[in-house]
A and B are shown apart, each in its own frame.
Chain A
């Protein structure tokens, strides 16, 4: 347990200090969400309708941004070998690392989403719904992403390939995240149904992601 806490605290420190890039994702999120109205046009009624989808796309892309460094940086300075040799189960270490990664990249996205929601002319209900779905859904993106991050270590030059591998797997999360956010505003489905499926997806990825990522890291270390 101490070892896991140490990994968690270390990752938090690295992410929040100079060169860590914890807020990079937020800036990227901001850039994407501000770019889209330029492409679509400043039609406030249209933006209100597709606003939840824009926020979700932006959060999805932003959460992929820092992902390829998650294990690659550890691999370069050798700490990944120590983690692999260590006594704590690799799956749990990956969960600890993913948790700190989500706290430094995923959670800030959730926190700034209301501000961006104002840009997109969302109603307070819609802003709340998007925030809640992002809060439940972004951990799934991180836990699916760790699979890609672990594969990127095996590939060495996997940075470009990572989004190609991870994005198809995140499609269900996107579908149910956006449909839950939309259900809260316009219906006709009750809000709880897609939200429950979104929660199920997050829990499933919490199980599958670390196991698959651990397998990839073990295979890659041979």
Chain B
């Protein structure tokens, strides 16, 4: 099945209806396993104590915040290059979810920073670049909300999304390029992860759970967006025929 087969919104919605219950079950299951491992299996840190548990929320939401912008960039290419009819639906419905994950990342990081670094916020490169990404998410949502024609809004947002994608490598490598208070990369790095398996395994479960949550929310939001556009079209047709009569 090629990507173009999903171009038909009705077929896509039908597929989402079929897949969504399974995804919800899978999300709940992985969250169950992940949270159980987080609270009962993963050991407390010898320095940080129980606050290290914040990491199991903080790190996956940071990943998802960046992953979501990456997905939106791909969808933007779909909008601009291939004119895929669902690409701007995907980009639009991803933006609030990505903003929420980025917000979660900032809040948990801040709460974690207070006991560990002694401050809620420092202006270091990693924190600042994530904050910039959050601002750009908000700008993007504002852009979507300021144009009434969805196709036109989609193309404008696609260009802004691609320009904003410059920020992604900056966030990823900010801990390597600058000496920051934030710790350097310890999971996805050359030479393998530096985290002990007893923490890495629960973290992996939580990452899978967050990703599944993202996919579930995103598909549901895309379905909602398709239905919303149908209602809009129906209303426009109604007004049109009322004027014509």
Contact = CB atoms under 8 A, between A and B. Distances in A.
A219 B156 contact: yes
Interface of A: 147, 151, 154-155, 157-158, 161, 164-165, 167-169, 171-172, 208, 212, 215-216, 219-220
- Nearest 10 CB-CB pairs, A to B? A219-B155, A168-B135, A154-B156, A164-B139, A216-B159, A165-B139, A168-B136, A168-B132, A151-B156, A212-B163
B135 A212 contact: no
A155 B156 contact: yes
Nearest to B162: A212
A153 to B, nearest CB: 9
A87 B166 CA distance: 31
B163 A147 contact: yes
B157 to A, nearest CB: 9
Interface string B127-166: 0100010011011001100110000100110111011101
Interface string B159-198: 1101110100010000000000000000000000000000
B155 A220 contact: yes
B80 interface: yes
Interface residues of B, number: 22
Contacts of A164: 138-139, 142
Contacts of A171: 128, 132
Contacts of A167: 135
Contacts of B170: 172
19 contacts: A147-B163, A151-B159, A154-B152, A157-B146, A161-B143, A164-B138, A165-B139, A165-B142, A168-B136, A169-B136, A169-B163, A169-B164, A171-B132, A172-B170, A208-B163, A215-B159, A219-B80, A219-B155, A220-B152
A220 B128 CA distance: 32
Contacts of B152: 154, 220
Nearest to B170: A172
Nearest to A144: B163
A154 B132 contact: no
Most chain A CB inside 10 Å of its own CB: which residue of B80, B136, B158, B160: B160
B196 to A, nearest CB: 36
Nearest to A167: B135
Contact of A155 (B136, B147, B158, B162): B147
Contacts of B143: 151, 155, 161, 165
Nearest to B158: A219
Nearest to B163: A212
A154 B155 contact: yes
B124 to A, nearest CB: 12
Contacts of B147: 154-155
A164 B132 CA distance: 11
Contacts of A212: 159, 162-163
Interface in B87-146: 128, 132, 135-136, 138-139, 142-143, 146
Contacts of B136: 168-169
B72 to A, nearest CB: 15
A212 B76 CA distance: 13
A159 to B, nearest CB: 11
B142 A161 contact: yes
Contacts of A208: 163, 166
Given A168-B139, A169-B164, A219-B80, A155 B159 contact: no
A52 B136 CA distance: 26
A172 to B, nearest CB: 8
Max chain A Cβ within 10 angstroms of own Cβ: one of B132, B147, B159 = B159
A161 B147 CA distance: 11
Contacts of A168: 132, 135-136, 139, 164
